[in-house]
Structure 1
Amino acid sequence: MRDYQKYATVLAVFATVLFAALLVAAFGMISLATNQDVIADRSAGPLVGPTMAAVVVVFVLVMLLALGVNTPPDQQRVAVGFSLAAGAGAFVLFLLTGAALVAFGSGDLVAGLVFAGAMIASPFAIAVGVLAFVVTLTYSVLLASHYGEHGRPLWPWERRGE
């Protein structure tokens, strides 16, 4: 693994942790502001929401790794289109995961479709897409700005020869 791939991988892991933390914070703040539950359907069960969030977090990690590891540093650009695709993909995957879990849990495909229909305009699902877009865009900006740097940052006392 080359240095830029190591840098991109470590940065992707930190960006994914940031995305997960922002997701939890956004869900909490939206829930407080709107007086709504993230999963309004009580029959869905207690694991549907966390599973939906976990699947989206893994999706964002895979998208970040695909962007960072496969692109050499001299070809890194701010990837607005890729970030939009990541945000839209996270939004759709959030809905599909919830619909599949509800349909599987209840044994009724219509219940899953109704759940997805209720969640499609939810501020929680929209927050997932927006946060995935913002984190992916920030990741691409950091990768594009890292071009030309070599090695780790040095402390002032380590730069005696400069």
Structure 2
Amino acid sequence: MTENRRRGVTRGYVGGLIAATAVLAVALLVAAWGLFAYLTGRDPISTPGVWMLSGEIIVLAALLLLGWGLWAQALTLLRGQRGLPWGHTVALAGGGYVVWCLGGVLAGLAIDETWLSPFAVALAVIWALCSVLFWAVLARRVYTDLPTPQWPWERRGEAGPDWKTPEDPGGER
């Protein structure tokens, strides 16, 4: 990271990055929970009589917490703290775990589906990972002089994979 150079970012950029991070978090959560369900032979919610959408509502509440925490993390980074805010990362992981567990208790889940669940631990780990990735992308944007990553066909002066050139009028096949 450069010492005194800092690029500004808009609220829209930060909001878009938070949205992308939330999508990544949900994708990782679905994959991890699917793997755990396959390996353990049980679902994240298997208590009889629990409302079918309670899990989705609890995960949505945890996602809202993640979004709020990432916004706070962005403010910390933009105020000049360049190091990874470990407090935010731990708070987001612990907060996601507590939201799942308390939401599950309120929904009537058994204790092995809340406090003792590997699914809850996976949620906490994924929230922490997404917090670190969010910080890394935003810190790269704000505190480095590196240009925005581009696909090969976006770079000026380089031919794309199927562009016609004088040497190859038909393009690559």
The answer to whether TM tops 0.5 is: yes
Residue 29 of structure 1: how far off its partner (Å): 0.9
* Residue equivalent to 2:155: 156
* Distance verdict in 2 for CA 1:49–1:60, change over 3 Å: same
* Residue equivalent to 2:115: 120
Residue 125 (structure 2) aligned to one of 130, 145, 151: 130
Counting helix residues as a fraction of each chain, which structure ranks higher?
1
Rg larger in 1 or in 2? Answer: 2
Gapped runs of 5+ residues in structure 1? 103-111
* In the alignment, structure 1 residue 54 sits paired with structure 2 residue 54: no
Greater alpha carbon shift after TM alignment, 67-76 vs 145-154: 145-154
Distance (Å, rounded) in 2 between the aligned partners of 1:44 and 1:76: 45
Identity of aligned residues (%): 24
Kindly tell me the number of residue pairs found equivalent between the two proteins.
146
Superposed CA offset, 1:24-83 (max 9, x none)? 111111100110111121211211111111111121111111211454264333222211
Q: Secondary structure at the match of 2:156?
A: helix
TM-score, normalising length: structure 2: 0.73
Distance (Å, rounded) in 2 between the aligned partners of 1:71 and 1:57: 21
Q: Secondary structure at the match of 1:42?
A: coil
Q: Secondary structure at the match of 1:14?
A: helix
RMSD: 2.5
Distance (Å, rounded) in 2 between the aligned partners of 1:141 and 1:14: 14
Greater alpha carbon shift after TM alignment, 82-91 vs 55-64: 55-64
Distance (Å, rounded) in 1 between the aligned partners of 2:67 and 2:145: 24
Matches within 5 A, 1:65-84: 65-69=71-75, 71-72=77-78, 74-84=80-90
Matches within 5 A, 1:141-152: 141-146=136-141, 147-149=143-145
Residue 150 of structure 1: how far off its partner (Å): 8.7
Gapped runs of 5+ residues in structure 2? 1-7, 158-173
Contact 1:119–1:125 (CA under 8 A) maintained in structure 2: yes
Distance (Å, rounded) in 1 between the aligned partners of 2:15 and 2:105: 31
Greater alpha carbon shift after TM alignment, 42-51 vs 140-149: 140-149
Distance (Å, rounded) in 1 between the aligned partners of 2:12 and 2:52: 37
* In the alignment, structure 1 residue 25 sits paired with structure 2 residue 24: no
Give, as a single letter, the amino acid of the residue that structure 2 aligns with 1:85.
A
